[in-house]
Amino acid sequence: MLANKEKHSIQIKQWATELGFSHCGIAKAEFLEEEAPKLEEWLKRSYQGEMHYMENHFDMRLDPRILVPDAKSVISLTYNYYTDLKQTGHNQHNENTPLSHFPSSEGIEGWVPKISKYAYGEDYHHVVKDKLKILLQHMQETIGDLNGRCFVDSAPVMERAWASKAGIGWIGKHSLLINKTQGSFFFLAEIIVDAELEYDAAFATDHCGTCTACMDACPTNAIVENKVVDGSKCISYFTIELKDAIPTSYKAQFDDWMFGCDICQDVCPWNRFSKQHNEPKFTPNPKLLAMNRREWQEITEDVFNELFQKSAVKRTKYEGLKRNLRFLELK
């Protein structure tokens, strides 16, 4: 057991910073009493849509001690993925080049199917998980008798609730975690361990105030009330999770998103504090940024595999992406 909880907690946070994590907070592993009725009501309203896995392991989602036997501490971390890079739909255009010079101006005058920023580079599950494993190894080598598990959006863990309890930020109206100095463009990750550490104070204030920018901007009205998202109406759900045909009642409402959606984050005033990430593995393939509408429409499976070899976009598979692209044409 730890001889000096405060000393080891400080050391863990230093290692986290060295590994590239932006924030690290620690909370006591216990039953999430406040989250239980919220989760129950969310499921009762069928906001999970076809994501039936959300209905599983109810107790485990709320109590990390079931997920990790003898768990004492939940270490929450954030890893920045924000980028200023955008899909332009062309690769040679500059302000002195006339549009008529280009064989296709779809990406300049028209629209380009969009991918969420988080999926520009390599799959975050692997990139961040590898860093968590290194952090856990440091802890085991230095602290001694310690067991734990690493999680990156890969198990029934209420990651936003834990990050808030660990003092990292508050949950915004769009139900995502917001940090005052970083905004919300970051991945959340956790290490749950069977050792007592120094616990941070929970983030007690909500800094969204009267702002409803995210709620007003959502084209499918998925943010049904403060901090509650109807997942079955979210563009990310339709383009990633839904395996059946996208309901035509939503045509012309996707704002050209073919994988994921960043609208509620793009309009959030707190994301004016977002800074360019420095993770090389999140750097997008230049071809991805340069492809225009016609090239996306004509994408082959070989090009798909080349572009998204290590990407989270592989989750939707080639046929899934083609389905999404066909749906975007129903304007």
Q: What is the pLDDT of residues 55-76, one digit of tens each?
A: 999 999 999 999 999 999 999 9
Instruction: Please say if the pLDDT value at position 97 is more than 50.
Output: no
Lowest mean pLDDT among 76-80, 94-98, 108-112, 240-244: 94-98
> For residue 190, what is the DSSP state?
E
How much is the pLDDT for 143? 87
How much is the pLDDT for 213? 98
Neighbours of 14 (CB within 10 A): 12
What is the CA angle 58-62-63, rounded to 5? 115
What is the spatial distance between Cα 307 and Cα 59, in angstroms, rounded to a whole number? 39
What is the spatial distance between Cα 237 and Cα 51, in angstroms, rounded to a whole number? 9
Q: Which amino acid is at 233?
A: K
Lowest mean pLDDT among 22-26, 102-106, 154-158, 219-223: 102-106
Instruction: Please say if the pLDDT value at position 225 is more than 90.
Output: yes
Nearest to 75 by CA among 141, 138, 144, 126: 138
In this predicted model, what pLDDT tens digit does every residue of 257-276 receive, in sequence order? 999 999 999 999 999 999 99
30-44 average pLDDT score: 98
Task: Return the percentage of the chain with pLDDT > 70, whole number.
Answer: 93
> For residue 193, what is the DSSP state?
E
How much is the pLDDT for 98? 36
Residues spanned by the domain of 298: 5-328
Question: What is the SS3 assignment for 129?
Answer: helix
Instruction: Please say if the pLDDT value at position 50 is more than 50.
Output: yes
How much is the pLDDT for 240? 98
What is the per-residue burial (b if ≥16 Cβ within 10 Å, else e) of 161-186? Answer: bbbbbbbbbbbbbbbbbbbeebbbbb
Confidence of residue 91 (pLDDT cuts 50, 70, 90): low
Confidence of residue 102 (pLDDT cuts 50, 70, 90): very low
Q: Which amino acid is at 114?
A: K
How much is the pLDDT for 3? 56
What is the spatial distance between Cα 123 and Cα 109, in angstroms, rounded to a whole number? 31
88-99 average pLDDT score: 51
Confidence of residue 228 (pLDDT cuts 50, 70, 90): very high
Classify residue 3 as exposed, middle or buried by CB count within 10 Å of its CB (0-12, 13-18, 19+).
exposed
* Both structure tokens of 215: 């709620």
Instruction: Please say if the pLDDT value at position 101 is more than 90.
Output: no
Confidence of residue 90 (pLDDT cuts 50, 70, 90): confident
How many angstroms from the chain centroid is the CA of residue 99? 36
What is the spatial distance between Cα 33 and Cα 169, in angstroms, rounded to a whole number? 19
Average pLDDT for the chain: 93
In this predicted model, what pLDDT tens digit does every residue of 163-200 receive, in sequence order? 999 999 999 999 999 999 999 999 999 999 999 999 99
Q: Rounded to 5 degrees, what are φ and ψ at 235? A: -60, -35
Nearest to 202 by CA among 28, 79, 11: 28
* Helices marked H in 19-63: 35-44, 58-62
Nearest to 50 by CA among 255, 301, 244: 244
227-236 average pLDDT score: 98
What is the spatial distance between Cα 63 and Cα 40, in angstroms, rounded to a whole number? 14
Sheet of strand 23-28: strand arrangement: 23-28, 73-80, 186-193, 148-151
Catalytic residue ranges: 153
Q: What is the count of structural domains for the chain? A: 1
- Note the maximum CA span of the chain: 71
